[in-house]
Structure 1
Amino acid sequence: MKRLVLLVALLSSSLHAKDLGVIAPTFPIAEIDMLDWIQQRLMTYEQTGEMDNMKTQFQEQVKKSVQRPPPVAGITTTTRPTTFTVDPTLTLASDIKDDKGRVLFKKGLKINPFDASTWPNGQQLPHFTLSKQLVFLDGDDPQQLQWAKTYQAKVAKAIPTQTIKWILINGEPETVFKVLHQRIYFDQRGDITRKLTVKHVPTVAKQVNTHWQLQEFDVSHEKDTPLSQ
């Protein structure tokens, strides 16, 4: 009986914990929905007029990136120009299959865009000749623009049927257009110059038989004066 009374006393004492008070400020647990937070921020921007400022800044950035794209790094002028060839042959990295899983073209197949005999079922096609030549320029270099005008006139006189595709690696296409009066392209991210291994400008790339021929030019003798537009 004494043991029972002792056990009841121990249990009752453990059921009555003491109030030790508040140690630190307490806050209710709440989770902020991220979409609600973003919406609240946008409403605040609209009310303060900051949203209009952000739109204007974004539009200006886009406009500037179009007018002057980021330059292609690592390409310079040269006083020791060279001429070299590049093989445009492509090699399939994997099998090409139809919708039923049948292999149409096997991995490792080599295709030369300038050689129709390497195309699938292209043995009977005529010889392919590119009607354009690519000219890579730095649009901020007055000497290169002076050279470009001379080269443009030379090609027009010697090969009237061949056109030039002007490709900038730096500068503003609109400014160069006012000088050459032809459509101007820009090698954004350097994809074309990297594939053709262009290291110096100006460089002319054109088809010779089944390869690209790249010819560099020295423009150090050209007049270093701004061209009239």
Structure 2
Amino acid sequence: MTRDTRILAGFLLLLCSALHAPFSDAVAADLGVHGQVFPVAEPDMLEMIMAKLRQMEAEGKITEMQEGLKSRTAAYAVRPPPVPGIGTAVQARSWLYDPAVALNRDLQDQDGNVFQKSGRRINPLDYINLSQQMLFINGDDEKQVAWAKRTENALGGRAKIILVRGAVADHSRREGKPYYFDQGGKLTERFGIRNVPALIRQEGRYLRIEEVPQ
């Protein structure tokens, strides 16, 4: 049996153990014998699992499952699922985003000295500058891809191109530099972006967000 099969068997055994865990001592009190008692004829659960796994392995089903998982993972890396709810910008929209956050606990140094109190608002732009603009595009839209390239060139390369749809690996390979993907729409949701192309740049202690129709 292969290592992957043994791991799967162990996981299934753990699951079965959890489902058949004994009650607490308070519940499992000895109530005596009432009526005729018969032995419990229950097959060995582990042996059943192992037999099923051996059958699946002999039939090549485990290898098939592993290959399917590899294929799905590779496809996801090449073209992740598009970010839902993102449209194409048809009119310009611009707003400011405050990146400050309120601390939910005191911050202490290695000696236990508090240097930031809970509840205080901290703005990371007071300590660092956004060195690159972020450009959000639909990688399947040629106009948006061209806009991103023009904008990046105008900024002297100081930009990150982030896709909300498209084959991110193909773009990276073709351009010879990393392209990024807004996995799960975390960034567009945080910044309130609903249409692309869009860009984010620093403006003092805030971030300026713009949706730019093409």
TM-score, scaled relative to structure 2: 0.73
Letter of the 2:142 partner, please give it: P
Contact 1:137 1:170 in 2 (8 A): yes
The answer to whether the Cα contact below 8 Å between 1:149 and 1:180 also exists between their aligned partners in 2 is: no
The partner residue of 1:74 within 65, 85, 94 is: 85
Q: Distance in 1 between matches of 2:49 and 2:180?
A: 39
> What is the deviation of 1:176?
2.0
The reply to whether residue 40 of structure 1 matches residue 35 of structure 2 is: no
Which residue of the partner structure matches residue 175 of structure 1?
170
Choose from 122, 127, 150 the match for 1:111. Answer: 122
Cα RMSD after superposing both structures: 2.4
Q: Distance in 1 between matches of 2:57 and 2:141?
A: 44
Partner Cα distance (1:93, 1:131) in 2: 28
Alignment of 1:42-191 (within 5 A): 42-96=53-107, 104-116=115-127, 128-156=128-156, 163-178=158-173, 180-191=175-186
Q: Which residue matches 1:17? A: none
CA change 1:150–1:102 in 2 (3 A) is closer
Q: 1:55 to 1:93 in 2, by over 3 A?
A: same
2:205 — aligned with what? 210
* CA shift for structure 1 position 96: 4.0
Measure the CA separation in 1 of the matches of 2:67 and 2:170. 24
CA gap of 1:211–1:33, structure 2 versus 1, over 3 A, is farther
The C-alpha deviation readout for 1:62-92, integer Å capped at 9, x for no partner, is 1111111122111111211112110000111
**Scaled by the length of structure 1, what TM-score is found?**
0.69
Between 1:145-154 and 1:94-103, the stretch displaced more is 94-103
Q: Measure the CA separation in 2 of the matches of 1:208 and 1:98.
A: 31
Q: Matched residues in 2 for 1:199 and 1:177: separation?
A: 24
Q: In 1, Cα distance between the equivalents of 2:177 and 2:168?
A: 10
Distance 2:47 2:107 in 1: 47
Structure 2 residue identity aligned to 1:130 = L
**1:192 maps to what in 2?**
187
Bigger drift between 181-190 and 36-45 goes to: 36-45
C-alpha change, 1:54 and 1:96, in structure 2 (3 Å) is same
Unaligned segments of structure 2, at least 5 residues: 1-37
Letter in 2 for 1:142: E
Number of residue pairs aligned between Structure 1 and Structure 2: 177
- Identical amino acids, percent of aligned pairs: 33
Deviations 1:182-210 (A, max 9, x none): 21111111122222211111111011111
Moved more, 92-101 or 137-146: 92-101
